[in-house]
A = this chain, B = another copy of it.
């Protein structure tokens, strides 16, 4: 008997949500499609997995059993997938580097160039991750190394080397009264609405709201965005302002958005991270060396 792991994911979604309708939107299919998927799984197994009722879908005994084992199947597959893809990158001499938008700056380009010199024949593949992915894919094995702002969620399970730090500036709508100033004190921004990262990014969100440098003053959130484009739009459209690394002034310049230095707020730090499994991977270590050489020239 075979299954598509997709059916297992759907099954787990329904099991967790207790409802076809809610699970359907979670896995991005229509509700009738999910109805059929579940029915298909049940007939393939020859086992009734849910009790249907007006209230929703409740797991049966055997259903609970499956719900307990299915995650192991998915984990085994995800692991196989990651390993295989990593081996493929190795074989085709591709180093995949993840980064969060905020870590982008001139150094990135220089690092890539330095690595290209040190490892001729190798290609670097830069992958920008959404802010909801705090390790930029490193935790899931999607990338071999990552350039990130420190600290980030899940940092403990990874290797991290800090590279350099950078002042935090503020991004404002061009029409904002404070945009007229050359320099802005952070306390003058306390009452401004901020464009923030999603709730689930935790410490990262707080870092860019400088939540712990407001002397207890509450944060006003004017908009929540997940990507640089949304973020810039939100600012340009006046939903709020936001702290940003100084280099954003160069890398995320856009009409309607201006950047100004801020005093009274600590700088931010960029680091390079890799998985412990690659501690002895010469290619990854070469990349790390390139990062360190540029950040702390001998």
Contact = CB atoms under 8 A, between A and B. Distances in A.
A40 to B, nearest CB: 12
Contacts of A80: 65-66, 69-70, 72-73
Interface in A1-23: 1-6, 9
Nearest to A81: B1
Contacts of A75: 76
| Chain A facing B: main interface SS | helix
A276 interface: no
Nearest to A47: B88
Contact of A61 (B65, B73, B90): B90
B46 A65 contact: no
Chain A: interface size category:
35 or more
Contacts of A2: 4-6, 9
Given A73-B77, A84-B45, A91 B61 contact: yes
A62 interface: yes
A49 to B, nearest CB: 8
Contacts of A84: 45, 47, 62-63, 65-66, 69
A85 B45 contact: yes
A115 B4 CA distance: 39
A48 interface: yes
User: Considering residues A3, A9, A48, A60, which has the most beta carbons from chain B within 10 angstroms of its beta carbon?
Assistant: A3
Contacts of A91: 60-62
Interface of A: 1-6, 9, 45-48, 60-66, 69-70, 72-73, 75-77, 79-81, 83-88, 90-91
Given A45-B85, A61-B88, 12 more contacts: A4-B5, A45-B88, A47-B84, A61-B90, A62-B84, A62-B88, A62-B91, A63-B84, A65-B83, A66-B83, A69-B83, A72-B76
